[in-house]
Structure 1
């Protein structure tokens, strides 16, 4: 190596060390070590602030029981068990973290004027009108306020995975009963985003997977993120991603729609997605236990005035703090959801404290 080049690399290394030295994430390290066992035995957390990755830490300590459960689930799904250590490039099913991605995809059509949030779904999908659901709006689909009474989330996902086409999926949703007036009932489910996904397929002539790749994944360089390439995409819970990939999406949201100087979403759409639609006149028919007391926008939960998120069934927790201007993603894979919201709040508080220093 030439002396001059060597000197430059050394200076860059020193600058990087100094930049990271301003943060003390020791309490976050301890928290991850203490809680990894109750979160499936594997966890990775990445944090982005001021244009750079400021934290990337994984804990891998699966016990024998967790490995056995992992093998049983994989066998049931006809897959090979994944027992590898987690890193920021591990690709994992992210369940409802998918909703944020899908809502953003729909909003790209709103930005282009090809879709309005006030458009009614019957305009695009006549089968919904035939079953008395044509008056539901796109906005209500993105905020779980369709008024449709759906089966439990896990049962609904399993049924959706058996569908042979998007048309079949929408026909089944159309046949479901109503539990209230659209816009007046909140029921966290897969139905609204499935309808929205079908509509953007209809107006574009492309399948959901292709649209996501063209409009979100490729522009954000999310090379390892997709919706599983199934026969029918599941916009509400079918995505697979890595911590690094999802952090790129969060960075775009935090930067009000831009990524590496390129605009992905308008500032207006970002703002619309973050408005809490759970107003006092909206009845909550179903909300996950770990989301008690939270608000909801389009594809994302509103934790407070400056924090938005979209946690998944398997424990992964992405969030943005607009006030402190940072984004973070904790990736895990486990089912038991006891005390999840409390854990999320504890972790976020520790990250907040580390970034203050």
Structure 2
């Protein structure tokens, strides 16, 4: 009897410790899936103004370590084989789309552009090639109607460009597969066009705008789109779990972060409206996000959950109903079964949130 009373007193005195302990099933899931998800994982969960969970796993085998060394060598860097931490920085691929869509929405809030504006108004080269009627909304929701090349070819073209105008010329030459707003094709194209529009109306680079409007006000000190000649808004960012949680916290808090208004509540709501209506044809969606909706820069998962998975395995999400956000950092390319894994993990975390 005394031991039961003592346990209850400890739980009352240290509620945070009890809450952390309740995540044991999440710990087990991460431990058991690390090997098939690149060998290293870290999951952080934020709720009610604080980090309520952080757990890292490092089970890298010889092959995974060798691949990490080869990738670092190609980039002219020293390989980092240490455990992931909340400060670990690495490429986040399509998790970038959420960040870029938010940047575009700051211009909507400022009244400098409208979602219904057509891109030909700012980029006449697209009008000359029959693509001027695409709207900003189409760009943010992957409904430009442009038949983009596969990812490998697309990135090869863009990385050789000297400036944003060259990339827009490339996009202008792509074929069309349907009227804007009628075909959903998940690609880099729409956000690249939107990024070019922002540069045209502001006279500043995408990277500068991103720093001024997103990373600086959100305290994201280790997040950027690189120092290349041209930013790739749809997949070119690198970030850390700590930084990305700052962004997710802003989304969760309806556009505010530490009392600062970054986006309007209206813009947050617009981003989370499913644009894939029954009359829209889905030409392509990645395997980790099939049969779910899409808003502006984020997938609509149902039950108040929104997300933006990355090609390399990182997975951010916000659960509006439960009032929390989370970021899973990983690095692996095999995407078989990813959607099911993400769903399992979300369910386990949901079950621990009170």
TM-score, length of structure 1 as denominator length: 0.94
Structure 2 CA distance for partners of 1:269 and 1:194, relative to 1, 3 Å: same
Segment drifting more, 285-294 vs 218-227: 285-294
Other-structure match for 1:260: 258
Other-structure match for 1:6: none
- Name stretches of at least 5 consecutive residues in structure 1 with no aligned partner: 1-13
* Whole-angstrom CA distance in 1 between matches of 2:310 and 2:265: 25
Contact preservation (8 Å) 1:20, 1:54: no
Q: Secondary structure at the match of 1:313?
A: coil
Is residue 2:228 matched to residue 1:230? yes
* Whole-angstrom CA distance in 2 between matches of 1:65 and 1:129: 49
Identify the match of residue 347 of structure 1 among 340, 345, 348.
345
Q: Secondary structure at the match of 1:333?
A: coil
Other-structure match for 1:203: 201
Is residue 2:80 matched to residue 1:91? no
Other-structure match for 2:211: 213
Is residue 2:198 matched to residue 1:188? no
Identify the match of residue 245 of structure 1 among 207, 231, 243.
243
For this pair of structures, how many residues does the alignment match?
343
Q: Secondary structure at the match of 1:136?
A: coil
* Whole-angstrom CA distance in 2 between matches of 1:121 and 1:15: 58
Q: Secondary structure at the match of 2:217?
A: coil
Other-structure match for 1:162: 160
Q: How far did 1:163 drift?
A: 1.0
Other-structure match for 2:79: 81
Q: What's the CA shift string for 1:281-316, capped at 9, x where partnerless? A: 100111111211110000000011400000000000
Matched ranges for 1:1-357 at <5 A: 17-23=14-20, 24-356=22-354
Q: What's the CA shift string for 1:301-340, capped at 9, x where partnerless? A: 0011400000000000000000000000000011010100
* Whole-angstrom CA distance in 2 between matches of 1:59 and 1:101: 26
* Whole-angstrom CA distance in 2 between matches of 1:247 and 1:170: 32
Contact preservation (8 Å) 2:288, 2:309: no
* Whole-angstrom CA distance in 1 between matches of 2:157 and 2:80: 24
Structure 2 CA distance for partners of 1:32 and 1:16, relative to 1, 3 Å: farther
* Whole-angstrom CA distance in 2 between matches of 1:99 and 1:20: 35
Other-structure match for 2:4: none
* Whole-angstrom CA distance in 2 between matches of 1:242 and 1:158: 26
Other-structure match for 1:9: none
Segment drifting more, 87-96 vs 148-157: 148-157
Q: Secondary structure at the match of 1:218?
A: helix
Segment drifting more, 77-86 vs 19-28: 77-86
Contact preservation (8 Å) 1:100, 1:310: yes
- Name stretches of at least 5 consecutive residues in structure 2 with no aligned partner: 1-10
* Whole-angstrom CA distance in 2 between matches of 1:255 and 1:98: 20
Q: What's the CA shift string for 1:162-183, capped at 9, x where partnerless? A: 1110000111001100011110
